[in-house]
Amino acid sequence: MMLTSDNTRQLLLQSGKEQFLEQGFEKASLRTICKNAGLTTGAFYTHFSGKEELFEALVEPMLSGFGVMYREVIAQELSDLTTGVENELRSITYAVAHKDEFRLLFNCSRGTKYEGFKEHLIRDIFYPSYQEVFDRYAGKPVDPALVRIILRMKFEEYMELIYGGYTMEEVKRLITQLTIFSEAGFHALLRTIDGETMRSEKANAKEVNREV
């Protein structure tokens, strides 16, 4: 096969992904990446300035698409809570399709600017949107500690679905059932929060009446 610039780049990307997944960024060998791709280091430097640029090229397209998808999902969730199953399926389908890239970010990124990405994703991307959804439907600020705990539980659910060896059909069936389960809990929690508000308001009213 005659190598073009495009397929040379694709060979390096594939070889780099395999090496990063196996060794992690820090231990990955540039020489091995080139050898496994059947290319020279000169060919590598025609396309990338070094390992970090190669790593970035593997994850940035996925991150760009994820950002667009996640913002759309949250906007839909805020406008219509009944779209839960649809939103969950869209999110998990995207994550499963890009599980290698997420694994690179979660487990193999030490030594790159993406180090600590998992905590960044939970703390800076997922948590604010989860808090917004909870506050929106509770009609009042919800305890951030409660939201963070629920978010961590949800994140572990996703990790199991993505990396648990399930087929896509199994993932779709499970996410539908899990969403029904979580939505029931969400609505029950909102009723509890609403009940606590009503009890607090009644207690305050009694206190005012006693003072009067």
Distance CA 138, CA 175 (A): 24
Q: Give, as one character, the DSSP assignment of residue 125.
A: I
Domain ranges of the chain: 59-211
Judge whether residue 3 has pLDDT over 70.
Answer: no
Q: Are 179 and 88 in contact, with CB atoms under 8 Å apart?
A: yes
Question: Cβ contacts of residue 90 below 8 Å, gap of 6+?
Answer: 69, 73
* Mean of per-residue pLDDT scores for the chain: 90
CA 88 – CA 175 distance, rounded (Å): 7
* pTM of the predicted model as reported, rounded to 2 decimal places: 0.85
Question: What is residue 212's predicted lDDT score, i.e. its pLDDT?
Answer: 43
Q: Per-residue confidence at 39, pLDDT binned at 50, 70, 90? A: very high
Q: Quote the CA–CA distance of 56 and 109 in Å, as a whole number.
A: 10
First-to-final CA distance of the chain: 91
For residue 195, what pLDDT band results from cuts at 50, 70 and 90? Answer: low
Q: Which CATH number among 3.30.1070, 2.60.40, 1.10.357, 1.10.340 corresponds to the domain 59-211?
A: 1.10.357
pLDDT at residue 196 in the model: 58
Q: How confident is the model at residue 81 (pLDDT cuts 50, 70, 90)?
A: confident
- For residues 1 and 114, which has the higher predicted lDDT (pLDDT)? 114
